A and B are shown apart, each in its own frame.
Chain A
Amino acid sequence: MRYNEKELQALSRQPAELAAELGMRGPKKGSVVKRRLVKLVVNFLFYFRTDEAEPVGALLLERCRVAREEPSNFSISFIEDPERKYYFECCSEEQCEEWTEALRRASYEFMRRSLIFYRKEIQKMTGKVCAELGGAGVVLQAQLMTRLPRRTPWSSLAYPRRPGSS
């Protein structure tokens, strides 16, 4: 599969959701733990040798499973091969918790499910459809992006506007 490495390298330089030096072990049998600078950017996990500017590699985080391993380690595996795990060693339980939380939310699919969930909840509460979803995708109307400033409860979706009120 062809892809432009420069696109990924540029992405790896973008502001990260999380970045830390962790111990990392690849999925191959017999691999050893190495210190890597691990950086979470959108739905990619980049890992760098600690003294290098370009990443050694990247993991796309769609359809992955993040699991806690012992008190302060976690693993990432992918749905098509759950036994093939990338291991990460953290310095504390708190750091491990932070990473597993962030990684679980770091997929486009997760956001898509959030979107569908919120839309359904809003529809249930207000009886109104607030955004258009085209087919399986998300094609929003332009008005969503030019939304008015945060509304007070009296002017929210649940209430029709009272005549004469501001």
Chain B
Amino acid sequence: MKLNERSVAHYALSDSPADHTGFLRTWGGPGTPPTPSGTGRRCWFVLKGNLLFSFESREGRAPLSLVVLEGCTVELAEAPAPEEFAFAICFDAPGVRPHLLAADGPAAQEAWVKALSRASFGYMRLVVRELESQLQDARQSLALHRHSSWKAISSRCKPQAPDCWSQVLENGHSLPRDCNPTGLVEEGGSRSAGRGLAEWELQGPASILLGRGQSPVSPETSCFSTLHNWYGQEIVELRQGWQQRARGESPDCAGLPLS
């Protein structure tokens, strides 16, 4: 099966963040027996996302091996020879041999087992969704909080229309549930499709959200003045309407009688 190995190796060597690094003893490799024996080979390991790379040394210019950490579990293991601190990456798939590795000490062993257990794409996706929903909660609370503060301020400053204000605010838009960062990312992504060049390093929600204009539903930005203006538009329109109706209803406001 072909793989874009040059790109994979480039990614391994790039300055993209590594989730864990360290020396580990490894068994297996070309020319080694199927059952691990001996003390293994000491290599420099780099974990990036769901990919575990090994190098000859810290300065290695090309990865020796790649393990794709999907559909696997990490378990403590017995190492051949009197080596401790061993663990194995075991795959569900039939015919895929476990990878046996050994750390230099108990702390390193624990750290590696933890890091490798959390390395799957699915785990990361769960975490991102969790934070997304926390952000939604925080935004909604903030919107409600702002509504109630404006209500308090308006009833103090504008005694003639407190009911108008409260009606508007109750009918006003709380940040809708469907207007979430994922939705915006999707929208933003489709916008960037129309741009001449996609940005290499800025692909991601941050740049998409900063690059786009106002959302049609509500501004998904934490800039208060923008939010204030946006909520204010509807209120200004309603006030104008109210003032017009007030003038129309009162005969005193019909203008000066013609003499």
Contact = CB atoms under 8 A, between A and B. Distances in A.
Contacts of A32: none
Contacts of A18: none
Given A59-B4, A125-B222, A114 B128 contact: yes
Interface residues of A, number: 73
Nearest to B131: A118
B28 to A, nearest CB: 9
A57 B2 contact: yes
A112 B49 contact: yes
Contact of B131 (A68, A97, A100, A130): A130
Interface in A94-145: 97, 100-101, 104-105, 108-119, 121-122, 124-126, 130-131, 135-140, 144-145
A135 to B, nearest CB: 8
Interface of A is mostly: mixed
Interface string B52-66: 000000000011111
B93 A68 contact: no
A131 B20 CA distance: 18
A43 B49 CA distance: 10
A8 to B, nearest CB: 6
Contacts of B158: none
B236 interface: no
Interface in A51-66: 54-60, 62-66
B11 A7 contact: no
- Residue in A80, A110, A153 whose Cβ sees the most chain B Cβ within 10 Å: A153
A100 B134 contact: no
Contacts of A140: 118, 127
Contacts of A158: 137-138, 141-142, 145
A11 B71 contact: yes
B151 to A, nearest CB: 16
Contacts of A145: 126
B66 A5 contact: no
A60 B49 CA distance: 12
Interface string B4-21: 111111110010111110
Contact of B190 (A62, A78, A79, A97): A97
Contacts of A137: 17-20, 47, 115
A110 B203 contact: yes
B91 interface: yes
A124 B49 CA distance: 26
Interface of B: 1-11, 14, 16-20, 29-30, 47-51, 62-68, 70-71, 91-93, 95-97, 114-115, 118, 120-122, 124-128, 130-135, 137-142, 144-145, 181, 185-186, 189-190, 193-194, 197-198, 200, 203-206, 209, 222
Given A55-B1, A68-B193, A150-B137, 14 more contacts: A6-B93, A59-B4, A60-B51, A79-B200, A101-B193, A112-B124, A114-B181, A114-B185, A115-B124, A118-B181, A121-B135, A145-B126, A156-B140, A158-B141
4 tightest A-B CB contacts, nearest first: A136-B17, A108-B49, A57-B2, A10-B93
7 contacts: A42-B122, A60-B7, A80-B10, A105-B189, A125-B138, A139-B19, A156-B138
